Amino acid sequence: MNVFWFLPTHGDGRYLGTAQGAREVDYPYLRQVAQAADTLGYGGVLIPTGLTCEDPWIVASSLIPVTERLRFLVALRPGLTAPTVAARMAASLDRLSNGRLLVNVVAGGDPVELAGDGLFLSHDERYDLAGEFLTVWKGLMAGETVTYTGKYLRVENAKLAFPPAQTPHPPLYFGGSSPAAHGLAAEHVDLYLSWGEPPADVARKIADVRERAAALGRTVRFGLRVHVIVRETEAEAWQAADTLIRHLDDATIAAAQRAFARSDSEGQRRMAQLHGGSRQHLEVSPNLWAGVGLVRGGAGTALVGDPATVAERLQEYAELGVETFVLSGYPHLEEAYRVAELLFPLLPVEKVETRVQARPVFHLSPVGDTGTLAVEAH
């Protein structure tokens, strides 16, 4: 298993849906969480994206010098930036971090938020745009000179002066539950991430993406994004789950669900369907608890239990083909330690070597950017 952690750039605390117990998420705090994950042996950290998050590219860049092995799963947002600019950003971060960049393709989201960013496309149109974006982006990252004309994007003789450290490009991660999302995953991405749904539902999604990819002559790896509430005993774990939402009232839950309902994300719809906006029957599958999704968008479930039980549940997903697990817990600093101490000894956690073979160093011409590149071998 490759186990990642999460950087809470949108806020953190001991309780959900309340300012009580909340803590300021500033750079020193994010550095603490990242360094804890680095030291404890997590393979990387997912850095979220969106209106209420710090910019993931800036955050990842700032953490390069204070971490050693940690990889950064950073969002690419087709439609919000040009693929050529995004390729330069990704190549630079990959090179400067010595090959520690992973790319999270985010094609969907809240239409209201996207409108604020100037993107006015329907759900399926956004995935079509993402396909064009990745065609250009991947070509540039592979060192090609790209001329491309699509429905949404056009470039002529586009080039990338400085290549990424990883070849042909940093691995592409992606999550989405709609047919359009599965089609994009099959054609373009390296690892498909599902939110924490019951195993049978995750199995169906994996089977669909795998079949679509095979039809294109490709293979896709799989991952799971889920929260974890693990304690030394089962009773303590379920008490911790109840405590996490102890300050929630019905009005707060209803307001959150109204906000999530405006999203056209199939994954968000599936998360909401698990709990139906109600505190009743939150255990939607053995040890899979939907309480997080009452007020948190996106990944809304947690695996709850003692170490042996949670490890067993993770192994059940692994048997479906899941190899990467992106975990999190509240508060993220303390829970990073708790999860590592209680779960890692029971799991085949992969120790990932992130150093990559040195690539040539490219220098622009000393007389300016004339398009002529000089190569110095190292």
Q: What is the pLDDT of residues 264-279, one digit of tens each?
A: 899 999 999 999 999 9
| pLDDT of 375 higher than 60 | no
What the chain holds in terms of domains, given with CATH numbers, is 2-376 (3.20.20.30)
pLDDT digits over 301-321, tens only?
Answer: 999 999 999 999 999 999 999
Lowest mean pLDDT among 85-94, 131-140, 227-236, 368-377: 368-377
Q: For residue 110, what pLDDT band results from cuts at 50, 70 and 90?
A: confident
Q: For residue 126, what pLDDT band results from cuts at 50, 70 and 90?
A: very high
Q: Which residue has the higher pLDDT, 352 or 101?
A: 101
Q: What is the largest CA-CA distance in the chain?
A: 69
> Taking the C-alpha atoms of 106, 107, 109 and 110 in order, what is their torsion angle to the nearest 10 degrees?
140
pLDDT digits over 168-225, tens only?
Answer: 999 999 999 999 999 999 999 999 999 999 999 999 999 999 999 999 999 999 999 9
Q: For residue 262, what pLDDT band results from cuts at 50, 70 and 90?
A: confident
pLDDT digits over 347-372, tens only?
Answer: 999 875 544 444 555 555 444 444 44
Looking at residue 376, its pLDDT comes to 45
Residues 6+ apart with CB under 8 A from 173: 73, 102, 103, 104, 105, 189, 190, 191, 192, 193, 223
